[in-house]
Chains A and B, each alone.
Chain A
Amino acid sequence: MTIETIILSILALPLLGALINGIFGKNLPKKIVGTIATVVMFASFGLAITAFSSLHEMKIVHLYQFINFESFHLNFSLQVDALSIWMTLIVTGVGSLIHLFSMGYMSHDKGYYKFFTYLNIFIFSMLILILGSNYFMLFFGWEGVGICSYLLIGFHFSDEKKGLLNSVAARKAFIMNRIGDLGLLIGLFLILAQFGTLEYRELAQMILVEGINPTTWMMFGITFCLFIGATGKSAQIPLFTWLPDAMAGPTPVSALIHAATMVTAGIFLVVRSNFLFELAPMTQDIMLYVGLATSLVAAFIAMRQNDIKKVLAYSTVSQLGFIFVSLGMGGYTAAIFHVTTHAFFKALLFLGSGSVIHAMSDEQDIRQMGGLKKYIPITHITFLIGTLAIAGFPFLSGFFSKDEILAHALHHNIIIYISLAFSALLTAIYMFRLYFVVFYGKFRGSDEVKHHLHESPLNMTLPLMVLAVLSVIGGVLNIPSLFGEGISHWMSHFLEHTTLGLSAVDPVHLSNGQTIMLMTSASILTIIALVVSYFIYVKKESVPVSDDKITGWVKLSANKLYLDEIYNFLFVKPIELISTFGHRFFEVAFLNKSIYGFANLVGKSGEIVRKWQSGIVSSYILWMVFGIVGLVLYIIIKK
């Protein structure tokens, strides 16, 4: 098979699955529906591996010309290089596992076939986003994943209790994303106006080879707009509040879309546009500080959330912020490295929480859980591995990928390093809190729930185990040079080799001493967090108190810094006011009145004229006499 056929098949398979299930799924048994959707994913993943192993150079697969204007062209074409293939591997690989998991998780759901159709369409859109060879294709996929996200967050829209709430969350996600999309769109217009093309390859050619260097402000404008797009999709300040609400969707959706794949689209965008960002140091700084602030704020909020999925959601936001810090420092491969490991352990944690929720008869409040480790052992062990990985426990995947970013920070600025390390510490604390409160202590839920506690079936635990293994060994992909020059930084080299622009970025190399110092301090912090949490939540068995008894920073954290309320007050209410008052006063009262006034005027003047045409013959004769007299007078005077 040529690389063209392979890439097209990778794209076509999920679409095919979606079409089959979308059209015939209603009348097929659930087993078959789920199998079709999952098999196409695994096939797609297999092909992605083939493409990966046969990748030697960048290739463009041109399909057709979408728009062919004299001033510019938009191509429907795909770009195969290290970055796109790597992302494809993550999306199809993690995607396959989550499809498999969903077969069990959604087995009682009525909308089973719809769910898998949406999931497959999502994968298709995501692949378009990743594999496209220009910003237009990216935007295409970008909007596409937004719709799938909308449909899947609001999947249980007709639920008696939560139906409307789910759909409100879905709408919020879509609209906040759209705000980001507008930024991205304007960025695209700027690129078109400046360079006349949206093809990555041509842009890289112009900037890297021909050395075209537009004004700093132009580059700032372009990259800033792209970054606004990224803040929407990748949930950064100020557009991140949709992501926690998006947890209203079924748990596999949270794992796939809102942890492992879609939310990394913004990061992908920046890495893809690295040669643009390298020319805009101002945007890089903004990105750095926005990322840092997001990372800290989200970690702070995660400290006192009591919904198992909300904790993980804020954790995702925080980790994404972490990655943006890396991007802001030019650490593109480090960012992709963390995206990869994060996809492993965050998907694992979400699926694990899904398994917990499944066992708990749909209860998500951790105050109702406790002591679950003996009831659901596999979930427990894998969840523990995920927790350790994200907390940065030595030699697990998260440890290496975080270290890579911390190394950049140390190289860049000591204050940023300290802030990032603090954020990492918070991560460890809230994750251990979550873990201990859920799995240790006594069971706190009702007896009925306790009676139903059960481990999930194999098709749900198998993905957990695979992801757990990946979370443990994922760090090998990009170990620091301390462990030997030959095997180190494999992923960085792989990405730099064929991804546009990346080879031009200087890698950060720390001395062995610095690396050891870095790793030791990170390990110590993690272990401190572990020990402290153990004492608070296991030894003293303290359980988070109910919402009305909290004060001070805890209250601030539990109420998410009141950000939703602030946004509501600042943006939503004013627009609604304009809408209501605009209609009441301007439309109905003013514009309409003036029109009716005009109409009345016409009517009035008609009334006056009408009096003259009264139909009474005698009055006509009278007027006639007047007329004749007048005429005669006129003639006499004129003479």
Chain B
Amino acid sequence: MELLIIPLVFALIACFLPKQSLKYVSIAGAVTSLVVALVHTLAYCGSSHYVSIFDPNHVTTFGLTFKMGYDGMSLFMVILTNTIIPLIVLSNFKSEIASNKKFVSMLFLMQFALIGVFTSMDGMMFYIFWEITLIPVFLIALWFGAEERKKILTKFFIYTFVGSLAMLLSLIALKSTASSFSHADLVAVQLTSQTAFWIMGGFFLAFAIKTPIFPFHTWQPDTYTVSPMVGTMLLSALMLKMALYGMVRWMIPLAPEAMESMVPIVVILSLIGIVYTAILAIKQADIKRIFAFASISHVGLIAAGIMVFTKDSVSASFLQMFNHSLVAVGLFLCAGILEQRLKTRNLYELGGIAKLAPKFGFWFAVIGFASVSVPFSSGFIGEFLLLKELYQYEWIIGVLAGTTLVFGAVYTLRAYQLSMFGAPKHESFIDLTWNEWIVFFVIGMLVLAIGLFPQVIFDFVGPSIDKLMESVELSKNIVE
């Protein structure tokens, strides 16, 4: 329970604290949450059982059960959240935003809602937390975003809201035959493949928009670009992981009967997204937009991996989610540093910065290489396994998805080269401050550690994935 309460408490007290203390309080809160999550992790490690954190044992007339709890997968996502939040706080430590109570409060509200999403074992609770996350992200972008944000944010809001409504409809339709909204009850519902298709379709729309999967992605590059750095980080590193997690936890187990018809559709859409957005990223001039497209491309691979739904592919997807979050924070921090110091994101106005700021040049290179998944980085393992699984699903899909290796190198190196190499175009550039350095260092070490010992993650989420796959197989068999 403390997993949820700590961020909520910090979100509340942030409203009443003096300005000067805010950033220290926020770092303290973020670290406390992380420590608590790690304590839970150590206690849990290696098992696959379900740990309840809140269960009033009461079903409302509406069917709400309030069940909250975690297994390996949920806990993994909680650790992910609680690792990323301190990094985000640190990234912004020296900016004005860190001393703004609106920001600090919203950040912790976000953390609270995310942990809620990951630990909900009740469909309606999941939906409610899912919707709450929209508020902080939207408000942060609205309060602190770039000038042209209003129209773009409206688009973003409409988009995600339509998705959420579709998910709500699916949930209600399922509930009409189940006794409650609890995960177990919803999973137990048997469907014809026809109904299952519509139900999965509703979930898919919500998750496809949030992820985003082609062709539901057009809100994303714009929103990423107008959001402040912290907003982009929240969106890419954490918010979209809800959708991927949702696919594993809710979409597939609730309507596995529709797998046969849905898997090819989703895999092919993801594939188009992987290749198409990677190609789009090649010619962009706005560095943030390049990383935004890159994100769609990378996440498409994870989504495809989830839909293939073998144990190996789902395990690899979890690893890759962690990797993507770390790399996303790193990349958007790089873009943020450039934008904040030079007031431009246009690659053609940048150049030669590696010479002016060698530390930044080095860490940008590290993050860039991690993003193109070189050996010794976690992405290397993740992409290797995901492509292998896709290849085994259908060889041509694996081959086409593999082109992301080439295109990824093209756009990442181009972005790096145009901004960092060549003769300097600016007089001076402030090198990394200590807080930025820590963020890069932590990301680098984590990427390296996971890259060398990926089995740690597979051992952690593996048993829970086994259990999930069993239940899906079971409910599929009943219908046959």
Contact = CB atoms under 8 A, between A and B. Distances in A.
Given A147-B369, A154-B421, A186 B399 contact: yes
Contact of B391 (A189, A575, A592): A189
Contact of B279 (A69, A136, A578, A592): A578
Contact of A189 (B154, B387, B403): B387
A66 B454 contact: yes
Interface string A135-157: 01001110110110010001001
Given A157-B422, A599-B154, A185 B280 contact: no
A576 interface: yes
Interface stretch (A158-166, A560-568, A623-631): A158-166
A167 B421 contact: yes
Interface string B371-385: 000111000110011
A545 interface: no
Interface string A588-630: 0001100110110010000000000000000000000000000
B267 to A, nearest CB: 16
B249 interface: no
A158 B355 contact: yes
A592 B155 CA distance: 9
B198 interface: no
A595 B421 contact: no
A110 to B, nearest CB: 10
A55 B417 CA distance: 46
A67 B413 contact: no
Contact of A186 (B315, B354, B391): B391
A164 B417 CA distance: 8
Interface in A98-154: 125, 136, 139-141, 143-144, 146-147, 150, 154
B388 interface: yes
Interface residues of A, number: 55
A95 B327 CA distance: 34
Interface centre among A157, A158, A576, A582 (most CB of B within 10 A): A158
Given A185-B402, A599-B158, A157 B354 contact: yes
Interface string A179-211: 101100110110011000000000000000000
Contacts of A139: 375, 384
A186 B402 contact: yes
Contact of B413 (A65, A171, A193): A171
Interface in B204-219: 215, 218-219
A175 B458 contact: no
B297 to A, nearest CB: 13
A46 to B, nearest CB: 27
Contact of B155 (A154, A583, A599): A599
B421 A157 contact: yes
Contacts of A596: 155
Contacts of A146: 374
A71 interface: yes
Contact of A595 (B159, B279, B424): B159
A71 B312 contact: yes
Contact of A158 (B154, B414, B422): B422
A129 B441 CA distance: 27
Given A576-B283, A582-B279, A595 B155 contact: yes
Contacts of B399: 182, 186
A224 to B, nearest CB: 13
Interface stretch (B116-124, B254-262, B330-338, B404-412): B404-412
A476 to B, nearest CB: 38
A178 interface: yes
A179 B155 contact: no
A59 B154 CA distance: 64
Interface of B: 154-155, 158-159, 215, 218-219, 221, 276, 279-284, 311-312, 315, 351-352, 354-355, 369, 374-376, 380-381, 384-385, 387-388, 391-392, 395, 398-399, 402-403, 405-406, 409-410, 413-414, 417, 420-424, 454-455, 458
Q: Which 5 A-B pairs have the closest CB atoms?
A: A158-B355, A164-B422, A579-B283, A157-B421, A167-B421
13 contacts: A67-B455, A67-B458, A140-B376, A154-B421, A157-B417, A158-B421, A158-B423, A185-B402, A186-B398, A189-B392, A189-B398, A575-B279, A579-B281
Interface of A: 65-71, 125, 136, 139-141, 143-144, 146-147, 150, 154, 157-160, 163-164, 166-168, 171, 174-175, 178-179, 181-182, 185-186, 188-189, 192-193, 575-576, 578-580, 582-583, 587, 591-592, 595-596, 598-599, 602
Given A69-B315, A140-B376, A580-B283, 18 more contacts: A70-B311, A140-B375, A154-B417, A154-B421, A158-B352, A158-B423, A160-B423, A167-B422, A174-B413, A175-B409, A178-B406, A185-B387, A185-B402, A189-B388, A575-B282, A576-B283, A592-B218, A595-B159
